[in-house]
A = this chain, B = another copy of it.
Amino acid sequence: MTLSEEDYIKAIYHLGKGMEQAVSTNSIAEQMDTKPSSVTDMLKKLSEKDLVFYKKYKGVLLTETGRLSALSIIRKHRLWEVFLVDKLDFAWDEVHEVAEQLEHIKSEKLIDKLDAYLGNPKVDPHGDPIPSKDGEFKKSVKRLVTELPIGSQGICVGVNDSSVAFLKFLDKNNISLGDTLEILDKEDFDGSLSIRIKGKEMRISEQIGSNLFLEVLEKD
C-alpha cells in the first residue's frame, strides 16, 4: 500500500467507526482536505485492490482486509505517539503531525521492537486504545471521574466546567490534560476521591471529580 492509500483507509475506518457505517465521498474529501473527485478516483483503486466495497453513489465500506490494514496503521500511529511523549518528551498535543508520517514506515520488526521497548502500552497519550498485532483492542470511552469505579485508570482529556476558577485549580494542583490518572479510593461520606496523578497521590473533592473527563478502556 502506498502512503496515500494508507491515509484513505485510515480515514474510512475513522469515519465509518470501524465497519459500522458506509462512508460518503464528501465526508472523506473533507476529512482528508482534498476534492471529492480525487476521492472517487481513489475509491475505485481501493475497490480494485479489495480493500473496500464501493458502490457508485452509495458510499464505501471497508472489507475485512481493509479493516485489518486500518488497524495496523492505527497501531503504528499510536505506538509512535507513545514513543514521542514517553521517550522524547513531546507534549501530548504536539505529536499528531509527526506520527502521521511515522505511521507509514514499513518494517514489521521495527514495530514489534518499538512495542516491546515501550512496554506494550495499551493506550496512546490521548487515551485511545492501541490495537494488538492481530487487530484486537478494547474500545475507549470518555467518562467523568465520578462515574468510574475504584481502580479505574485513564487519561485526562477534558473538563465539564471550563470556568477560570476550575482551570486555575487544575493548574495549581499540577493537573494537565494528557496526564494519566488512577482512582485509588472513594469516600462515601463526602464523595471525595483519592487519586494518583503523575505518580503523586492526592485527594480531590466530588465537585472536582464531576468536572474532569477521563478517557478509559471499556471493560470487555
Q: Does A87 contact B (CB under 8 A)?
A: yes
Are A107 and B98 in contact, CB atoms less than 8 angstroms apart?
yes
Distance (whole angstroms) from the CB of A108 to the closest CB of chain B: 11
- Are A113 and B89 touching (Cβ within 8 A)? yes
Copies of this chain present in the complex amount to 2
Contacting pair A88 B117 (CB below 8 A): yes
A93 to chain B, nearest CB (A): 13
Cα A112 to Cα B43 with chains together (Å): 39
A97 to chain B, nearest CB (A): 7
Residue of B nearest to A84 (CB): B110
Alpha-carbon gap, A9 to B89, bound state (A): 31
If over half of A's interface residues share one DSSP class (helix, strand or loop), that class is named, otherwise mixed; here it is helix
Q: Report the Cα distance A113→B204, complex, angstroms.
A: 35
Q: In the complex, which residues of chain B have a beta carbon less than 8 angstroms from the beta carbon of A102?
A: 105
Query: Quick check: is A219 within 8 A (CB to CB) of the other chain?
Result: no
**Which range holds the interface residue count of chain A?**
10 to 19
Chain A positions 112-142 with a Cβ under 8 Å from a chain B Cβ = 113-114, 117
Q: Which parts of A74-103 form the interface with B (CB within 8 Å)?
A: 84, 87-90, 94, 97-98, 101-102
User: Shortest beta-carbon distance, A12 to chain B, in Å?
Assistant: 24
Does A200 interact with chain B (Cβ within 8 Å)?
no
Residues of B within 8 A of A105 (CB): 98, 101-102
Within 8 Å CB of A98, what residues of B?
105, 107, 109-110
Residue with the greatest number of chain B CB neighbours at <10 A, chosen from A88, A89, A94:
A88
A-B complex: 3 closest residue pairs judged by Cβ atoms: A88-B113, A98-B107, A101-B105
Given contacts A88-B114, A89-B113, A102-B105, 14 further A-B contacts (CB under 8 A): A87-B87, A87-B117, A88-B110, A88-B113, A88-B117, A90-B109, A90-B113, A94-B109, A97-B107, A98-B105, A98-B109, A101-B105, A101-B106, A101-B107
